[in-house]
Structure 1
Amino acid sequence: MDQRYQVFISSTFTDLIDERREVMQALLEMDCLPAGMELFPAGNTDQWSLIKGVIDQSDYYLVILGGRYGSMTEEGISFTEMEYDYAIERGIPVMGFVHADADEIAAGKTDKNEAAAGKLAKFRAKAQTRMTKDWKNAEDLGSKVTRGLIHLIKNNPRPGWVRGDSAMTPETRAEIAELEAKIAKLEKKELETATTGASHMNDAYAHGQEEVELSIKHEGYAYGRQEEDGDLTYTWDEIVDVLGPFMIDEAPEPALRKTLNSHMLSEIQGDPKSWSTGWSHESAEISDRSWGAIIVQLRALGLITIGTKKRTVSDKAVYWKLTQAGDDYLVSLRAEISSVIKI
């Protein structure tokens, strides 16, 4: 696979223009992708996020130290040293190239400020605690970079970059095709299961005339906004009877919950002994916990399943529908109820 590596070049700029050009040429001849301050103003603190992003995307980091410490931030740290420290922090393989003889550097390419010169000396010492090579001039630096980077790549493998058409090998294509076939098979099986649903109710769980207590909040207005919490007790048959007809076809959960809330409000209004009466604009709302318990129980019984119809992207609601077992149970429940009702 034709793999290329992105290499970040860090250094001061105006004093090392020729050296940077030589390094970039060496990297290009190695089919590497050079990256560095040519992409952004090195002394602009607003560009620090961009600089970090480019370093993050790089496979290797090279720092070139000459006779200048470079422009500094308000904290007194040069951008070159900040870049170096960030590359170390991110675990990117680093290699330094330090001028072999500081006394041989032209006066116009060295720091006149003693404080800056001191900071450069400390930075050189820090860089030399890791892999470094000395260089004398631009041509020497270019050849040292080539040999040094070969060694760095060999001992520190990195992901690199590949062309999109090269990344898709025949083996990868075959593997993807196999995975797609498995996914399609599983989706088909899941769809078939969801369509038919459970054929028999799992009566190992509470159902029928067994009762469940639901927590609700009752709100309304009577001399101001009023609110009270309480419980209502239902059998599982009553819950299926209220919600089941709406799930013969798929129904969104918010609508089902609203249906149960309306049913509970009717219960409250018909029971003045247990609840406040005479309120206006009343509402009743089942608690999240109780609603969740209903959904879990009906699923455990095998009476409902998640809907599978295609919907718009903006429709985020969960849809529920009766399984075959749920439909059969609702029919038998309704038939039994009808037998005792005078029609």
Structure 2
Amino acid sequence: MDRRYQVFISSTFTDLIDERREVMQALLEMDCLPAGMELLPAGDTDQWTLIKGVIEQSDYYLVILGGRYGSVTEEGVSYTEKEYDYAVELGIPVMGFVPAEPDGSPVGKTDRSDAAAKKLAEFREKVQLKMTKKWKNAEDLGSKVTRGLMHLIKNNPRPGWVRGDQAMMPETRAEIAELNAKIAQFEKKEVESSVGPPVQMDDAFAHGEEEVELSLRHKGFDYGYKEEDGDLTYTWDEIIEVLGPFMIDEAPEPALRETFNKHMLSDIQSDTEDGWATGWREESVEITDRSWGAIIVQLRALRLITTGTKKRTASDKAVYWKLTQAGDEYLVSLRAVSTTAKNVERPE
């Protein structure tokens, strides 16, 4: 597979313009993707954040030392050394290129202060603890980079970049096909199990006219934001009557929860004797997580609901619920209207 590698070039800039150009040309001839400060876009993001992002995306890191330590950060460390330390910290394979004659840099391309020269010497010693090559001039540096990077790639394999239409290797395609076959088998087993004996409601748990107290938060605006906490009491049959119709087909849990929130709000607005505030604008009710969880657990324990099984998009992270056969039958018994054969006497 045709794979290209992104290579970050780190160095001082104004004194090594020709050298950097030669290195970039060498990298392009190797079908590599050079990255460096001159290629960073202008924008509102601070310089170091941009540099870090490019280094993180790079496969290899090259540092070129000349006769200058370079501009320093607030910590007193040059950007070149800070970049080098960050690449080493990330575990990116690095290679250094140092002058064959450190004292032979032309006038104007060396540090003027002794402090900067000392920091450069210390940085050069740090770089030479790892793989380094010495260069004499721009042309020599280009050839050294070519040979050095080939050695670095051979001994330190990296992911690199590939064309989108070539990204999937034959082994990956085979693995995906195998996984799809397994998924199909699981789906087949699930369908076969779903047509087995019908699940019966487990009436060992609270149900019917037995009551449960649910906590909620009542919110709205009345000369400012208002909220109050409280409880409402419902029978399990009422809860099933409210939620059940929406779970005949699969329904996402957030939608079910919102349905019950609206039902509770309606109860608050219609029951003015229960101490709830009234007349708020943008009024809403939100059942607490604990109470909502109690509803879901109870309906599952009763074997009235189960999780949905339909395929969904990868971005859909919601939990879906649907009625079991027992749940569907129980809902019908609650909501269906039966006919009677009673005779009703008409008033005279």
Which bracket does the TM-score occupy, shorter chain normalised?
Answer: 0.7 to 0.9
Cα offset for 1:20?
2.4
2:119 is the alignment partner of 1:119: yes
Paired residue secondary structure (1:159): coil
Secondary structure of the residue aligned to 2:158 is coil
Deviates more, 1:97-106 or 1:132-141: 132-141
- Matches for 1:151-166 after TM superposition, within 5 Å: 151-166=151-166
C-alpha contact 2:8 2:62 (8 A) present in aligned 1:
yes
Looking at structure 1, the residues matched to 278 and 16 of structure 2 have their Cα atoms a distance apart, in angstroms, of 82
Equivalent in the alignment of 2:84:
84
List alignment gaps of at least 5 residues for structure 1: none
Q: TM-score, normalised by structure 2?
A: 0.74
**Closer, same or farther in 2 for the Cα pair 1:197/1:207, shift >3 Å?**
farther
* Partner amino acid, structure 1, of 2:174: A
2:108 corresponds to 1:108: yes
Q: What is the rounded CA distance, in whole Å, between the counterparts of 2:121 and 2:45 in structure 1? A: 24
Q: What pairs up with 1:268-279 in 2 under 5 angstroms?
A: 275-276=274-275
TM superposition shift of 1:337: 10
The change in CA–CA distance for 1:323 and 1:78 in structure 2 (over 3 A counts) is same
SS at match of 2:108: helix
Output one character per residue of 1:214-254: Cα deviation in whole Å (capped at 9) or x when no partner. Answer: 3456899xxxx89673563x543454345545655667411
Aligned residues: 332
How many Å separate the matches in 2 of 1:262 and 1:106? 85
The 5 A counterparts of 1:220-259 are 229-230=230-231, 232=233, 234-241=234-241, 243-244=243-244, 247-248=247-248, 252-253=255-256, 254-259=258-263
Relative to structure 1, the CA distance from residue 104 to residue 324 in structure 2 (aligned partners, 3 Å threshold; closer, same or farther) is same
- Give, in angstroms, the shift of residue 65 of structure 1: 0.8
Instruction: Give, in whole Å, the separation in 1 of the partners of 2:57 and 2:121.
Output: 29
Cα distance 1:304–1:276, how it changes in 2: closer, same or farther (>3 A)? same
Is the 2:88–2:94 contact (alpha carbons within 8 Å) kept by the matching residues of 1? yes
Distance 1:197 1:37, change over 3 A: farther
The equivalent residue for 1:296 is: 297
SS at match of 1:162: coil
AA partner of residue 134 (structure 1): K
Cα distance change of structure 1 residues 207 and 30 upon mapping to structure 2, 3 Å threshold = same
In 1: Cα distance, 2:11 partner to 2:291 partner: 64
TM-score, normalising length: structure 1: 0.75
CA displacement 1:257-296 (0-9 Å, x = unmatched): 4225545776x66xx6xx449x754998754422321122
CA distance in 1, matches of 2:306, 2:99: 72
Residue pair 1:194, 1:305 contacting (<8 A) in 2 also: no
**In structure 1, C-alpha distance between the alignment counterparts of 2:327 and 2:95, rounded to whole Å:** 69
Contact 1:96 1:127 in 2 (8 A): yes
What is the RMSD computed on CA atoms of the aligned residues? 4.5
Note the alpha carbon deviations across 1:18-68, whole angstroms, 9 max, x for none. Answer: 3223323333333322222331499x9943322222211111111111112
User: CA offset at residue 151 of structure 1?
Assistant: 2.9
Tell me, in whole angstroms, the C-alpha distance in 1 between the residues paired with 2:45 and 2:248: 63
Per the alignment, residue 50 of structure 1 pairs with 50
Partner of 2:64: 64
1:198–1:85 Cα change, 3 Å:
farther
